[in-house]
Amino acid sequence: MPTLGNRLAFKIFAAIFSITAGALGLTEIVILKHVSSQSEKDYASRYQELTGQVADTLNQLDKTTDLIAINGLQAFREIDRRRGMLSNEELNELKKSLKVENLYILNRSGKFVRSDWFLEVASDPKLQGYYRDKPPLSRPLFSYCEGYSELIKGGSDLERTPIIPNPPGMPYEGINKYIMIPNHDRSRILEASVSVGFIGDILTKSLNPDGNVVSIGLYTPSGETLGFVRKPGGNPGETFSFNAEVKPTVESCCECKLKQLELPGKEYFYDLKMTVSKKALQEQIAGIERIFLAIGLASLLLSVLTALWVSRWLVRKLERMGKKIGEIAESADLSLRVDESGKDEVGILAGRFNAMLKQLQASQKKLATAERDRAYAEVAQQFAHDIRSPLAAFSTLLKHSNDSSEEDRSILKIALNRTREIADGMLNKYRKPKLSDTSVAEAVKTVVAEKLMNIRDRTEVTVRFEPVPEALKLKARITPLEFERLLSNLIDNSLDAIEGTGTVEISLVRDPINLTLTVKDDGKGIPQAVLSKLGAKGETHGKEGGSGLGLYHAKTNIEAWGGSLKIESTEGEGCIVIISLPIA
């Protein structure tokens, strides 16, 4: 039959293992998703960057092609100036040296009058079939774009097109760009067409080195193909598609609008599209999943071993703790303690059990203290009772003392009343204090008068309380004797802080629901490191033999009356004690 320890050990093992396994599983799932997502982002970023690099290369080659063609046309213009209009045959020879596809000469009306293209059509049956007995190049240049006429009118020195495909139906595939300049006297237009075969070369070179790229194509905005290569092979599976806009060398193309190669409202651009297979990415993620699976199984095994060890360790600690508790119960010795420490649950439980034992010990001491307090109460009651007679005699003597000044008699009367209140306080120490609606200003005046009597010999120190008429009406629900006692202590603290000449200034004001009593001095102040501790029981500063009980009792009583006490100080400049109480 399983023992209690074994059953508890199994429950602890099951709890630890289930929590650990669940946490590990959830953590692995979250991390795996993050790693997979990051891998996909990195993969996509790599090929988006590759697409951009290909686009930059095409853009640079497009610019280079323009420069070569323009340089060739300038040489053509110089030849035209020196030799006049060249024949078709001469143009056919010149184009080879200038490394262009075709050369054209147009008259002032934009009509094609000379070109090596005429010779090509005459010698090629396919081209003849394309034109169907119509003369080639019969359409005027200006019908493609009216702006080309500025080459004759003097408004332009250079016109060019971006890369555009051959017209539909042309028997030979080709993509070209056309560049036009005026001759030396603007009587003719000289034009060159440049084949941009580099597009296919660049796309092929970008496709071959990387096994993941499936296809690359360059298109007009309307979708006409300018170049396309595809890797041979089977089904690439799932793919990514990446796009990049390649900016042409011309900002606008009116001929492109006529041929409907542009999108409405957008300038002409080349659209580069790259298709990339996801197979490599999927294999990479599958490898990561296998690694995480292995880590998960290893972690699961480790969690089993850890749960077994922790469960046995906790059970042994609980068994030792139970044995000690039994000894304490049998001996009834509350001074014994459970010898289990640490920050784990068992250590915390042992600490709380020891705290309970300590409280029980304290309760025993309190019972003894209560008995002693009852004896003290009897003594205090007897003292308060016995002192009333000499106080009465002292009061009678005061009435018949005519030699003293009125001020001395007033101060002596205040001192007599305070002595009577202290006697009453001793009598009431063990009674529940009674709250009353007390005039705060009158209580302050009483304490200030007593303090003025005490510091008569310190002529360089002043205690000042000059309330405004409105403040004289303010009342708070407090215990008058306790309030006067705590205020007396606060003023004493201020007087003790003054070395040489100084002032203790007391003010009383009100806000909508509270009254605020301020005790301000220009003494030596309190360091910030000490300031935050004041008000705690036993904390004191700057008073030799101070117990730290004065501020503690003041704060405790004021908070019990529904108010607050705050201390502000700058070392070397003085201190301010701010008391806030609800208005009665």
Write the CATH number for 481. Answer: 3.30.565.10
- The pLDDT value given to residue 559: 95
Alpha-carbon span 272 to 52, nearest angstrom: 9
Distance CA 115, CA 568 (A): 100
* Per-residue pLDDT at 4 exceeds 60: no
Is 232 within the bounds of a domain? no
Across 113-122, 269-278, 408-417, least confident range:
408-417
Residue 302: how many other CB atoms lie within 10 Å: 12
For residue 103, tell me if it sits in a domain. Answer: yes
Describe the chain by its helix, strand, coil percentages, rounded to 5: 55, 20, 30
495 occurs within a structural domain: yes
Angstrom distance (rounded) from CA 476 to CA 508: 12
Q: Which 3-state string (H, E, C) describes 266-288? A: CCCCEEEEEEEECHHHHHHHHHH
The mean-pLDDT minimum among 251-255, 331-335, 519-523 falls in 331-335
- Average pLDDT of 51-74? 92
Answer whether residue 448 shows pLDDT above 90: yes
Range from 16-20, 208-212, 292-296, 545-549 carrying the lowest mean pLDDT: 545-549
Residue 266 belongs to a domain: no
Q: What is the C-alpha separation between 178 and 154, in angstroms, rounded?
A: 19
Residue 442 has pLDDT above 50, yes or no: yes
Overall average pLDDT of the 537-546 stretch: 60
User: In this predicted structure, what is the pLDDT of residue 187?
Assistant: 96
What confidence category does residue 420 fall into, taking pLDDT thresholds of 50, 70 and 90? low
pLDDT (average), residues 539-556: 71
CB atoms within 10 A of CB 203: 25
One DSSP character per residue, 418-473 reads: HHHHHHHHHHHTTS----EEEEHHHHHHHHHHHHHHHTTT-TTEEEEE---GGGGG
Cα–Cα distance measured from residue 276 to residue 399, given in angstroms and rounded to the nearest whole number: 113
Q: Higher-confidence residue: 315 or 405?
A: 315
Give tens-digit pLDDT for 148-175: 999 999 999 999 999 888 877 787 777 8
453 neighbors 417 (Cβ within 8 angstroms): no
Rounded-to-integer distance, Cα 195 and Cα 174, Å: 7
How confident is the model at residue 411, as a pLDDT? 60
Whether the Cβ atoms of residue 506 and residue 448 lie closer than 8 Å to each other: yes
Note the pLDDT of residue 386.
47
- pLDDT of 520 strictly over 90: yes
Q: How far is CA 241 from the centre of its chain?
A: 34
What's the confidence (pLDDT) of residue 310? 77
Overall number of domains in the chain: 2
pLDDT category at 490 given cuts 50, 70, 90 is very high
CA 531 – CA 302 distance, rounded (Å): 52
Tell whether 351 is covered by a domain. Answer: no
Residue 233 counted as domain residue:
no
pLDDT in tens, 477-486: 999 999 999 9
Q: Mean pLDDT throughout 90-100?
A: 95
CATH code of residue 164: 3.30.450.20
Mean pLDDT is highest, among 15-24, 166-175, 523-532, for 523-532
pLDDT value of position 46: 92
Model confidence at 443: pLDDT above 50? yes
Give the lowest-confidence range in 166-175, 404-413, 446-455: 404-413
Can you give the pTM of this predicted structure? Answer: 0.49
Q: Please give the DSSP secondary-structure letter assigned to residue 499.
A: -
Helix, strand or coil, per DSSP, at residue 141: helix
> What's the rounded Cα separation, in Å, for the pair 141 and 161?
13
d(CA 530, CA 525): 11
DSSP single-letter state for residue 536: B
Residue 533, pLDDT > 70, answer yes
Is residue 429 over pLDDT 70? no
Answer yes or no: is pLDDT of 260 > 90. Answer: no
* Domain-ending residue, one of 182, 198, 214: 198
Find where tokens 């003025």 sit: 452
Are 421 and 375 contacting, i.e. CB atoms less than 8 angstroms apart? no
- In 48-174, DSSP assigns E strands to 102-106, 112-115, 159-160, 164-165
In a domain, 96, yes or no: yes
Q: What is the rounded average pLDDT of the residues 119-136?
A: 90
Q: Residue 223 corresponds to which tokens in the numbers above?
A: 């979708």
Tell me the mean pLDDT in the region 322-350.
76
Q: Whole-angstrom Cα distance, residue 141 to residue 258?
A: 12
Determine the longest span between alpha carbons in the chain, in angstroms. Answer: 153
Among residues 405, 406, 417, which one has the least CA distance to residue 443?
A: 417
Ramachandran sector of residue 408 (left: φ over 0; alpha: ψ -120 to 50; beta: rest): alpha
Which three-class secondary structure state does DSSP give residue 574? strand
Taking a C-beta distance cutoff of 8 angstroms, is the pair 140, 107 a contact? no
126 has a pLDDT exceeding 80? yes
Confidence of residue 376 (pLDDT cuts 50, 70, 90): low
Of 138, 165, 198, the one marking the end of a domain is 198
3-state SS class at 329 = helix
Phi then psi for residue 142, to 5 deg, are -70, -15
Q: Examine the fold and report which residue of 157, 174, 198 is the final residue of a domain before the chain moves on.
A: 198
Token look-up 């298109």 returns 219
Residue 362 has a pLDDT of 82
d(CA 296, CA 31): 12
Q: Pick the residue with more confidence: 325 or 153?
A: 153
Name the residue with higher pLDDT: 406 or 69: 69
Q: Helices 4-83 and 198-207, interaxial angle, to 10°? A: 160
Which residue has 């292995």 as its token pair?
294
Q: How far apart are CA 174 and CA 98, in angstroms?
A: 19
Local confidence band at 11 (pLDDT 50, 70, 90 cut-offs): confident
Burial of 530 (0-12, 13-18, 19+ CB in 10 A): middle
What's the distance, Cα to Cα, between the start and end of the chain in Å? 73
Collapsed DSSP state (helix, strand, coil) of residue 378: helix
Predicted local confidence at residue 347, as pLDDT: 75
For residue 119, pLDDT over 60 is answered with yes
Strands 112-115 and 102-106: antiparallel
> Which residue type does 421 have?
E
Cα–Cα distance, 76 to 66 (Å, whole number): 15
State the average pLDDT for the chain: 84
Predicted local distance difference test score (pLDDT) of residue 389: 45
Tell me, yes or no, whether 247 lies in a domain.
no
Confidence at 373, pLDDT banded by 50, 70, 90: low
Domain around 490:
432-582
Q: How far apart are CA 390 and CA 395, in angstroms?
A: 9
Q: What is the pLDDT of residues 455-481, one digit of tens each?
A: 988 999 999 999 999 999 999 999 999
